[in-house]
Amino acid sequence: HGFDAYRSRAATCTPEWAGEIAGIPGSQIEQLAELIGTTKPATICAGFGMQRYTNSGQTMRSMIALLALTGNIGRPGAGWVFANLRTQLFGVKDPVAFFPPESPDPLVRVSISTAMLGPHILATKDPPIKMAWVERGNPIPQNPETPTVVQAFRSLEYRVVVEETMTDTAREADIVLPAKTFFEQTDIIGAYWHDYLQLRAKAIEPPGEVKPETEIYWHLAHRLGFSPKDIENNIPAPSDAAVEAWLDRRLARVPGLSIDRLRQGPLRMPDTNDVAFADLKFPTSSGRIELDSPEAAARWNVDPVPDYRDPAEAVHKNSPNSSARFPLFFLTPNTKNRIHSQFGNLAGMRAFEPHPVLQMHPADARERGIAAGSRVRVFNDRGELTLLVRFDYGIRTGCVVLHNGWWLNDGGAVNLLSKARETDMGYGAAFHENLVEVAPA
């Protein structure tokens, strides 16, 4: 659906135009187009990084359109790799909080954007937010615009953090409740990359007075006056047998699933397809792939046909959003040595990556009088970091790289330099639209 509108839009986006933005010859884009157009089957796996821009939703739509236009939908080995939590789709243990009522009480429910956490907490006035409960999250260094997140947390009357380690966020709490580890309670787990459901059996008892989160919620729910029925339906009672019985009731929604069955090994969820959309039936209003989507326009306030928009902070010189003061693109990818800010406290992980290091192309360093292995200032209008620099010819010129996940006391918390921005679709955080300058320290 919408092929003519899409073709008209694409005609204005020449390889030369795109190459100038991307910093590569237009001929390379033509080679890539020929490769995609002549390869059967073809799969595109874009990763999470491309989703962290303000126009990322439209970018993803454009890339999926390449597969649709080349016949790489509904065929074995063809398609698009989405990193979805596959087994969550079956609702085996989704709490009501994941899917709240369509018309909740407006007096007690307010939506806060994760990407805009700090600004939205401060801006919410009717009613104001007075308390935060953070469970196993570290939003202070990991959410965009760390200084504003800190300001927002300190504006609250009461802050509770449930956590295994004393993170930056836990240090800001009024009360820290020690959290169990995943060894200390039976659970059912899924994955982003396969369709199997697995039993994670309890291995050890929680130490001291540590309680599983479900037990904390069970006690709180009783103290807050929730009905026994609501508590029973949503929270297991505080015992190993009650937890397993609660999980078993949810597994029973899917024929053939039970705790005893999962004790025998992982089980692939029923009704999963190896080939997505093999029947070429699509859950859209037209029943077809929509290159021109009125539904996307209505839901997300975007152009119904995928379009290009400059980043809010752009590195290519012809963009009105480029900056002479801060000409370097600040990329903050994940590292294999931690999952975001998790494991940052472990000595074993620090043996591989003991301190934050800025990666930089030698040509950019020479322009700034920076020596290999020296200390540098990385800064913009929002903040500043002082780091060691490592030269890397694999980093493109005009770009510097610092892995995310460092805590504040490590001196490398990347979101001290970021701006809180939402993606165009999906309420994601546009982590990768930040410009900086680098100078000798």
**Cα distances (angstroms) measured from residue 14 to each of 26, 34, 65, 311, 317:** 8, 14, 16, 19, 18
Are the C-beta atoms of residues 315 and 322 closer than 8 Å to each other? yes
Residue range 330-370, pLDDT digits in tens = 999 998 888 899 888 888 888 888 999 999 999 999 999 99
**pLDDT at residue 89, as a whole number:** 45
Q: Which amino acid is at 138?
A: N
**Cα distances (angstroms) measured from residue 276 to each of 78, 79, 191:** 9, 8, 18
- The DSSP call for residue 429 is B
Dist. CA 23–CA 316, nearest whole Å: 8
101 contact partners, CB below 8 Å, separation of at least 6: none
Q: Which residue has the tokens 């787990």?
A: 189
Residue range 259-277, pLDDT digits in tens = 999 999 998 877 777 888 9
409 contact partners, CB below 8 Å, separation of at least 6: 168
**pLDDT at residue 117, as a whole number:** 96
98-137 as b/e, with b when 16 or more CB fall inside 10 Å?
eeeeeeeeeeeeeeeebbbbbbbbbeeeeeebeebebeeb
> Which range has highest mean pLDDT (307-316, 331-340, 417-426)?
417-426
User: Mean pLDDT across the stretch 392-417?
Assistant: 95
Percent of the chain at pLDDT > 90 equals 71
Dist. CA 59–CA 27, nearest whole Å: 21
pLDDT at 88 over 80: no
154 burial level (CB within 10 Å; 0-12, 13-18, 19+)? exposed
Q: Which amino acid is at 440?
A: P
Q: What is the token pair recorded at 145?
A: 């615009």
Residue range 268-310, pLDDT digits in tens = 877 777 888 999 999 998 999 999 999 999 999 999 999 999 9
**Cα distances (angstroms) measured from residue 323 to each of 278, 332, 380:** 47, 19, 11
Q: Where are the alpha helices (DSSP H) in 162-227?
A: 168-171, 213-223
User: Mean pLDDT across the stretch 232-254?
Assistant: 89
Are the C-beta atoms of residues 195 and 86 closer than 8 Å to each other? yes
Helix (H, G, I), strand (E, B), or coil: what is residue 181? coil
Domains and CATH numbers, the chain: 3-83+273-300 (3.40.228.10), 109-192+196-268 (3.40.50.740), 328-440 (2.40.40.20)
Dist. CA 89–CA 192, nearest whole Å: 11
In the predicted model, what is the mean pLDDT of the chain?
A: 90
